[in-house]
Amino acid sequence: MNRYKTEETRARQNARAGKTHAEIAELDQQETLQASIYERARKIHIERFPEEYDHYYDSIADASDRASGINPMSKEYIERVTTKRKKEGVSPLEENGLPTANDTWEIALAEAERQLQPE
């Protein structure tokens, strides 16, 4: 087990120490809901803002260009993405095509919470 998992397990056990079965069940339910929200938010983010994942598919040459501050995407694509992001009201991508802020993640997380939060 790696160090992160060990610490995560220890924190989980400490949070449950001295709790009743009902309180532990409530904590488990909250953790499950939170995990579902984050998973849904990740899917929403990928669907609504795929341009932030373009660099995952870079060739070695494209990655080198991005590291030098050059966006390897076509001008038409860059313009289309810039227009879309303005319309969405989120921050533009950097010159190299990478995101500058996490405002898109916050939008996806808020949408996931709206979809999954019990009323």
pLDDT digits (tens, 9 = 90+) for 41-60: 999 999 999 999 999 999 99
Cβ pair 102, 28 in contact under 8 A: no
Q: Which residues contact 51 (CB under 8 A, 6 or more apart)?
A: 81, 84, 85, 93, 97
**pLDDT at position 32:** 93
pTM of the shown model? 0.81
pLDDT digits (tens, 9 = 90+) for 8-27: 889 888 888 888 989 888 98
Where residue 104 falls among pLDDT bands split at 50, 70, 90? very high
Enclosing H/E stretch for 31: helix 21-48
**pLDDT at position 14:** 87
